[in-house]
Chains A and B, each alone.
Chain A
């Protein structure tokens, strides 16, 4: 059994039924579900901040010279700081904490039939260090010189020399925040892998583990294997910036391209670190709402392994035009296009799962299906950038930006909404409103496409990202281009305003939603056999597993589902 919560009472009363105090319950808990909620709420709050930043700089772009409501005029250095922190927040402080840490913490013990994580105190420490990284990042916005504005990729010499970036404290705090965040996720990752491998319920074999658990475990392993070079790089960058070393300073024998290798050796696998949990979530949802067994479970698993291995061989496609030996581009073109094979196969498997199903379109299913539909666009546009020849032109244009938003928005935003709407009854013991959920869905997905399809076109027409004001470029100020920019920005406003519908639905349902039964979706996996919400320790008696997680519509059975813990 996991340890009990240190409730802060006298020892002789500790065994009695005391309600833990606020601090013990919400801040100092080692319960995996509470830590999941801490990550979920912190990550979501950061997403709102990142979204606000996007609103500010896109409004500046579409309406140059005008004051942005809620912010004011955007200066070039503020613009740089906004795009930098938007990117960093969305990846490091939203996608990772929500997809891996929140869902990993909530789902892994519940889905494998454990009472808690293998190391609950390390788990708590992981969140506390993450929170510290958030605070350090916040402080960086308010220091003298302003926040760091050298892009989330932090390329030196700009990031390594205060003379060049002119934001000395902001830069130091930004790099420190990123490094702290990685330490937090290393701790979390160790917990996920050890828990999933060692704490499974009796009877649960490797191939009985739900796909989403596998995916989070694989993502954690990829993260742990890729993050070392970047933490080392972050330390080197801090030394260059503050102590006068010259790891990345070419004037004194350093090499700025070294940073790019260290960064992208982490940075590209990072895409798969957040992708895998999202495709895991999607797998769980489509099987439940299509009442189907997951098509070729083992194939999904092997392709995820394959993607993980290949993800370490593709980093230099970010550096085709960075001054690396041109012959290297050929090798990295091959590895990059090769990674399209397992990812395409995964998508084919999901499409095949729908065949012969009995599909209902509740809100979580809409999100899961829209993941497939939009991620396909992200996938196919990646081919243009993996092919070295076209990357020469498209690199750092709005085409790249649109491409990775077509991968990251399905992963982080759609994946999160799919997961939250699906597991909300289990997390909070109440049902979300399905009608409001659908309004929010359409209000998000339609404008999302209207933001980024125009940006593909603008990218192909030669518009580069990270430029403060395009009206200085005669070709880029063509009226049709400025109109597309306005369309993208207005769509962003619409998309952001529809998030209010979600927030209303979320907080209203949290208090007033109808009580959720144990298993509202008639699902097979173990978390649905616990109470809604599950108490500390999850079950009075740990479940026993008799079969795989996706036995839906098995012939000869009256019910169309067959929970993992029900004996024959």
Chain B
């Protein structure tokens, strides 16, 4: 359902979109049923001359059944939804998968920009060839990424809608999460937590590239970055 409005470009997106559709149809059913009965009753029991309202207390078991049965069914639906919600949560937020070709990127929120640190040709962060970019994150399709998320000042929230990913950045803490892009393209990154006057002015982009494109980007940028670091 979501993917009709916005492409799904990560492995977690599939899981979350499934959960969204499941809840949509389940609560959609209850919603339509309740509204249909509700409007049906209003139409059917409109005041007519000579007809008096019925005296129904709702205290008899036989009458209460009309609300206790749907009530129990709602509970069953809740259990069902909890099961799938917890499953999705485990996969996306709680488990931190690893892969042989894994990469680590650093994401820092600041008033008012995103600072992304990419590992250079050596594949490791915190070495001389790191590539640091403002408002521009470059990743390779199908590769598993761990991100280290932090903030320099206030709360920010790192949100990549095409990944269905969101995580608050907290100053003083480094939060580790993961994503695995599944489609190449260029997409919006938003800050989802109000972070001061310039909050509405910190748009960033994520570039999901093929391995060749990504290698070329690294080759083109790492030396520049080394020079910049050396020059500080």
Contact = CB atoms under 8 A, between A and B. Distances in A.
Asked if A pairs with B, the answer is yes
Interface of A: 76-77, 79-80, 149-151, 155, 157-158, 161, 164-166, 250-251, 256-257, 290-299, 321-323, 326-327, 329-330, 333-334, 337-338, 340-341, 344-345, 347-349, 351-361, 369, 372-373, 376-377, 380-381, 383-384, 387-390, 392-393, 395-397, 457, 460-462, 464, 466-469, 472-476, 552-555, 560
Contacts of B12: 392
A396 B193 contact: yes
Contacts of B161: 393, 462, 475
A297 B197 CA distance: 50
B46 interface: yes
B170 A257 contact: yes
Given A299-B67, A351-B37, A326 B94 contact: yes
B74 to A, nearest CB: 5
Contact of A380 (B31, B42, B54, B71): B31
Q: Which of A80, A351, A457 has the most CB of B within 10 A?
A: A351
Given A293-B58, A468-B199, A323 B1 contact: no
B192 interface: yes
Given A393-B20, A461-B5, A250 B172 contact: yes
B168 A150 contact: no
Q: What 8 pairs between A and B have smallest CB-CB spacing?
A: A468-B200, A389-B88, A250-B172, A462-B161, A356-B54, A295-B58, A296-B58, A387-B85
Given A151-B194, A250-B172, A359-B47, A291 B53 contact: yes
A26 B64 CA distance: 48
B67 A388 contact: no
B97 interface: no
A395 B166 contact: yes
Nearest to A331: B86
B162 to A, nearest CB: 8
Given A251-B172, A326-B94, A340-B78, 12 more contacts: A293-B57, A333-B85, A345-B74, A353-B58, A373-B38, A376-B35, A377-B31, A388-B88, A388-B93, A390-B20, A393-B161, A469-B200
A314 B35 CA distance: 27
A388 B86 contact: yes
B229 interface: no
A464 B192 contact: yes
B59 A466 contact: no
Contacts of A155: 154-155, 193-194
Interface in B1-25: 1-2, 5-6, 12, 15-16, 19-20, 23-24
B125 interface: no
Contacts of B172: 250-251
A361 to B, nearest CB: 8
Contacts of A299: 58, 64, 67
Contacts of A466: 194, 199-200
A282 B42 CA distance: 15
Given A390-B85, A473-B190, A348 B23 contact: no
B136 interface: no
A356 B5 contact: no
A358 B53 contact: yes
B188 interface: yes
A337 B78 contact: yes
A326 B2 contact: no
B166 A356 contact: no
Interface of B: 1-2, 5-6, 12, 15-16, 19-20, 23-24, 27-28, 30-31, 34-35, 37-39, 41-42, 45-48, 51-59, 63-64, 66-67, 70-71, 74-75, 78, 81-82, 84-89, 92-94, 111, 153-155, 157, 159, 161-162, 164-168, 170-173, 175, 187-188, 190-201, 203
B111 to A, nearest CB: 7
Contacts of A80: 194, 196-197, 199-200
B52 A358 contact: yes
B97 to A, nearest CB: 14
A86 to B, nearest CB: 13
A164 B111 contact: yes
Contacts of A77: 197
B171 A256 contact: yes
Contacts of B20: 384, 390, 393, 460
29 contacts: A76-B198, A80-B194, A80-B200, A166-B197, A250-B172, A292-B54, A293-B57, A322-B170, A330-B89, A341-B71, A345-B67, A345-B71, A345-B74, A354-B41, A355-B56, A356-B53, A359-B45, A389-B85, A389-B88, A390-B23, A396-B157, A396-B193, A462-B5, A462-B161, A474-B188, A475-B6, A475-B187, A475-B188, A553-B53
A345 B56 CA distance: 17
B168 A322 contact: yes
A390 B127 CA distance: 37
A347 B35 CA distance: 11
B169 to A, nearest CB: 8
Nearest to A159: B154
Contacts of A347: 34
Contacts of B1: 460
A555 B16 CA distance: 55
A299 B27 CA distance: 23
